[in-house]
Structure 1
Amino acid sequence: MASPVLAPGQVSEINLTVTPANKARTPFLEIPFQLPSGMTRLDVGFEYAKAEDCALDIGIMDSRATDYPTRSGFRGWSGSARNEFFVATDAATPGYYAGWMPPGSWKLLLGMYRVPDSGVAVRLTLMADAAPRGVTAMPKPATPRVEHPGWYRGDLHCHTHHSDARGGPELLAESARLAGLDFLAVTDHNTTSQWRYFGPRSSEDLVFIPGMEVTTYRGHANVFGLNEWVDFRLGNGGDLDALVREVRRQGAILSINHDKEPLPWDYDYPDMDCMEVFHGHWLTGNDGVLAKYDRFLADGRRVSLIGGSDYHQPAEQERPGPVGLGKPTTVLWLPCLDAPAVVEALRSGHGYVTESPNGPHLAFTANGQPMGSTVTGSDDIALEVEVTGASGDRLVWVGEAGPVSEKLIPGDAWKETMRLPMPGRFLRAEILADASRAKAIKDLMDWCENRIELPRAQQSLTDAPPIRRTLSNPVYFEAPK
């Protein structure tokens, strides 16, 4: 493909046809062009005939970018959310990055999500200018820290208009405070431009966890604790090892997201730290994800269980309901509240996931060791469990072979000491809705009444499976050496 040279103030047009053969070679088609020296702004237009079987994404890289995985030169991504964007030295469309515009060979990235058999015609327009502008750098992030040990609540999966939501960061931050969250990971798709807002505004009442959702056409994964953007351009073969190495280089952690229809994980499972088992409302196929997670544990893998709402902030605040920000909520025991402590607790599994910020509390120790720990022993296990907010529901203990024991929760504030036989490689706990089941289903049906369908729902509400309100992380067991 010819590489057009842009002329200041003039529109350059690129027309091409994207075919299934293009997608078979690589998920991302690179379209090069030459940016002259001295340019301070670039505007891009993107047109094609969208259809059920035709969906393309777009992003851009500057002349510093290398082949996958690159650590520099990425200038933004909007997926299929926008038909136009701009990048300038002093500003950029949400999802994109302002800053110096180096001359040389830039590349538009076309993500080929769905391409019809007949192909699709694409029209791209580019216009650069050299008007005087300042240069804006990414602001330095704040590093708040609350010096108080305790349980802290957060949502680990949400979006703003920096990717495919309609609402901006200001509204999402307001939503998080209204929900009573202590920490928030804003995981916009394939971009970290949202950090420009959240980084300097991280505060003791709402700690921002730097994150990004690595969004591919064969599965999604969140990365938490990043210092900089991470390349998402996994090829058809996966390139997962390179992604994991880059995540580890930054001291960050990797979590596989919503491994269920319509967006299951279709690669081999990498060396992951976490798995998003509780995604959105429980009745959206999460029981199948939990079954996969239990198989990982039974096979000897140690992966922390987390949750995330996948909330896409709307343009206006919504009335609270059973689906929304903080639903579910990941609850962590932290020695202090700051971003590094949250990332370490996620890695270690020191916590649980509950249906909402006010959902049931569930904590236990095994032989005195908290969730996420390894216990050495060969006989029965001494358990201390604490549950609040789930009177009349059931506490179920689950081990390597499945459910081990269950008990009706007798009150809203319940503590008990018990012993169980060695359950195999792991033991985790969950709260199943019994007394609360009818209300949970009614609330969801009422919420769905004026909606076409429950997002990602895979089950009938009239014949719903067991509703898990809270899931603990496991304790792991090893035989004495």
Structure 2
Amino acid sequence: MFAVDLHAHTRAFHGHRTLGDLFDPLGVRLLAWETARRGLDGVATTNHDYYTPFSPSGATVIPGVEVSTTRGHVLVVGPDPPRETAPGELTPAETVGLAHDRGCAAIVAHPFRNSTVTELDDLAVDAVEINGKHPQTRPLVAEIAEKRGLPLVGGSDAHYPIEAGRAYTLIDAPELTPESVVAAIRDGRVEARVRNGITDRLLRRLYREIHRRKHPDSVLGSSSPGIGEPPEE
């Protein structure tokens, strides 16, 4: 059994690609170190709309990308994620097809934050995420997963190393490789876990306050921050 954070970023900011590319080698080392320090075995690097191969020491790094689809974000995790996608260009169905063609799993990211991906009944995703920024939506996410017969996975959505591992996935596999992660997700041999320590609770409160200030109209109560339409709609 392996503990893997399936949703994490190597930088604290979006855009500024040139600057980010310079920072990412340091960012991934810090992320892998902090993930291992928190007792996890691996972490997926799911930067927004691009993937860069990394092999730092510390936790095992699983390739991935967070695709900004026309209806919200979908995580593509596995051995061969696309190197770059155009934000808001691919539909969820196109993203899932791309993931499967490349031997990757497609996961609905934070379905209750700026997303309507789960409204697509015929979408062949592999799992639904419980996001570390607002795990209080777990009953709602679990209801979606049960209705669709999909497994739940956990990811921290970390943009700073200290956030790594606040939500993660237990993976029943003989070894920890990108291929074994994909197979376990598709077979349902996964279990979402959420940490609820003091640091984790404080970080979530800070996130809710930041999100409230940035997007006051999209927050429907403190128990479910960020519910709303995806950015492209």
Alpha-carbon spacing, 1:334–1:458, altered in 2? closer, same or farther (3 Å) = farther
- Deviations for 1:251-295, whole angstroms, at most 9, x for unmatched residues? 11111111103444376252111111x211555433222222222
| Partner residue, 2:148 | 296
Report the 3-state secondary structure (helix = DSSP H, G, I; strand = E; otherwise coil) of the residue aligned with 2:153: strand
Alpha-carbon spacing, 1:219–1:447, altered in 2? closer, same or farther (3 Å) = closer
453, 464, 480: which one pairs with 2:209?
A: 453
Alpha-carbon spacing, 1:351–1:266, altered in 2? closer, same or farther (3 Å) = closer
Residue 168 (1) aligns with residue 27 (2): yes
Q: Percent identity?
A: 26
Report which of the two has the higher share of helix. 2
Cα RMSD, aligned residues only: 3.4
| Partner residue, 2:107 | 255
Q: Provide the C-alpha distance between the structure 1 equivalents of 2:142 and 2:67, rounded to a whole number of angstroms.
A: 22
After superposition, residues 76-475 of structure 1 pair within 5 angstroms as 151-161=1-11, 164=14, 168-193=27-52, 195=53, 198=54, 200-201=55-56, 206-227=59-80, 228-229=82-83, 231-232=85-86, 235=89, 239-265=91-117, 268-269=120-121, 270-276=123-129, 278-280=130-132, 283-297=135-149, 303-313=150-160, 318=162, 324-356=163-195, 453=209, 459-460=221-222
Instruction: Work out whether residues 7 and 158 of structure 2, in 8 Å CA contact, stay in contact via their aligned partners in 1.
Output: yes
Q: CA deviation at 1:304?
A: 2.3
Instruction: Work out whether residues 108 and 118 of structure 2, in 8 Å CA contact, stay in contact via their aligned partners in 1.
Output: no
After superposition, residues 31-46 of structure 1 pair within 5 angstroms as none
Q: Provide the C-alpha distance between the structure 1 equivalents of 2:98 and 2:183, rounded to a whole number of angstroms.
A: 18
Q: Provide the C-alpha distance between the structure 2 equivalents of 1:241 and 1:160, rounded to a whole number of angstroms.
A: 27
- Regions of 4+ moved over 6 Å: 441-445, 448-452
Report the 3-state secondary structure (helix = DSSP H, G, I; strand = E; otherwise coil) of the residue aligned with 2:117: coil
Q: Provide the C-alpha distance between the structure 2 equivalents of 1:247 and 1:351, rounded to a whole number of angstroms.
A: 19
Instruction: Work out whether residues 153 and 330 of structure 1, in 8 Å CA contact, stay in contact via their aligned partners in 2.
Output: yes
Which structure has the larger Rg over C-alpha atoms?
1
For structure 2, the 5+ residue unaligned runs are 15-19, 213-218, 225-233
For structure 1, the 5+ residue unaligned runs are 1-150, 298-302, 319-323, 357-439, 465-481
Report which of the two has the higher share of strand. 1
Q: Provide the C-alpha distance between the structure 1 equivalents of 2:210 and 2:138, rounded to a whole number of angstroms.
A: 14
Q: Provide the C-alpha distance between the structure 1 equivalents of 2:188 and 2:210, rounded to a whole number of angstroms.
A: 30
Alpha-carbon spacing, 1:246–1:282, altered in 2? closer, same or farther (3 Å) = closer
With normalisation by structure 2, the TM-score equals 0.73
Higher relative contact order structure (alpha carbons within 8 Å, sequence separation ≥ 6)? 2
Q: Provide the C-alpha distance between the structure 2 equivalents of 1:337 and 1:451, rounded to a whole number of angstroms.
A: 31
Q: Provide the C-alpha distance between the structure 2 equivalents of 1:443 and 1:232, rounded to a whole number of angstroms.
A: 35
| Partner residue, 1:437 | none
